Amino acid sequence: MSDESEEVLCNGSAEIAVPFCRILRGAGLDVPISKVTTFVEALGRVGLEEKLPVYWAARCTLLSNPGEVDVFNRAFEVFWERKALSRLEIAVPSVSVSLATDAGEDDNEINGENDGNAGPIIQLRYSPVETLREKDFAECTAAELNELRKLMGSLRLGSTTRASRRRVRSKHQTQIPDMRRTIRRAVSLGGEPIERKFLRRDRRPRRLILLVDVSGSMEPYARALIRFAHATVAGRTRVEAFAIGTRLTRVTRELSSLDPDAALDAASVAVSDWSGGTRLGSTIKDFNDQWGIRGMARGAIVVILSDGWDRGDPQILSEQMERLHRVSFRQIWVNPLKHTPGYAPLAKGMAAALPHTDQFIEGHSFESLERLAEAVTA
């Protein structure tokens, strides 16, 4: 993105697009500047008075995740009621939309200015962080990686829940009667069991297990992914992290430090085969034998972050992935190479693992890790 502003003249469209995009961002949706400018152009074609054309212009240009339709619809209704678009006239002064790079701020800002000649100017300030979120980790400079590590601290992975054996009080009728509370209540009412009490099974978050490939082929991505693992371990409970290469190394304790630099240093010291070879089959077998099958992986969400390159026997990897899949709730494979144009999972390790994988997603950028966070909580 150059430092020069690229101006697009429109009739009131930006005055509509900008506030709506602010609402979407406030609702948690990802709305990059490129989509805002496309939305402005679409509004210039469909007009501003009719609700349905404006809605579809917004939905087609701003929404990329079908799972966010409900949030989008609620945001649009709020926006339409606020703005009272039926009062706007088509003949409004020309508005100049100026797209400029703002290297000094981390947030997208939208400011109004007037030069006295061309009418109102709405400037969409473009932060470098916006493109950094989409940039391949392998192409980032040291300074950019440092900035991304800070962003990763804001990532929070939720989790689905599972029913536990523990029973707790329920406010509603269930199939589990609470005889003790029912009797106590009956005694307080003179012996008549007028009110029946019930129990329900408590729910707890599923354990999340991260297996991060730190072999030589993963060198451009390993440190960024370990930083992601640190943000996950430090940000929630019931998380386990392992480094995999030629051997298996548990790094949960090392990554538990709230200081990201100290955590990464501790993990680097603990992993003796960093940037070495890859034996995915044998390391996953070690995980199954020592940790997974014994209980850690039972009902858990297992995330493997690897490019799939393996020097070992692919048959072993296939067997161990199938074995792990039988006890886990979901297996997600995150491959940084998947975004490459023309990519096909031809590496023998990747081909062996895919049949036993529930989801196969990208992992080359901060934006792709945000999608991983969504997949974990789905």
Q: What is the DSSP letter of 289?
A: I
| Pure H helices in the chain | 13-26, 33-46, 51-62, 69-83, 128-132, 142-152, 179-188, 219-235, 260-270, 280-287, 314-327, 348-353, 366-377
Mean pLDDT score across all residues of the chain: 79
- Sheet containing 198-205: order of strands: 161-170, 198-205, 176-177
Map out the domains of the chain as residue ranges. Answer: 6-132, 163-204, 208-377
Pick the CATH number of 208-377 from 3.30.230.10, 3.40.1190.10, 3.40.605.10, 3.40.50.410: 3.40.50.410
The 10s digit of each residue's pLDDT in 10-45 is: 445 777 787 788 778 777 778 887 788 888 888 888
Alpha-carbon separation of residue 8 from 35, 40, 147 (angstroms): 14, 9, 31
pTM value surpassing 0.75: no
The 10s digit of each residue's pLDDT in 115-138 is: 455 445 555 554 566 678 888 999
Distance CA 65, CA 62 (A): 9
Distance CA 260, CA 142 (A): 16
Distance CA 46, CA 43 (A): 5
Distance CA 124, CA 309 (A): 43
Distance CA 3, CA 69 (A): 35
First-to-last CA distance in the chain? 35
- Check pLDDT > 80 for residue 353: yes
The pLDDT score that the predictor gives to residue 267 is: 92
304's torsion region: left (phi>0), alpha (psi -120 to 50) or beta? beta
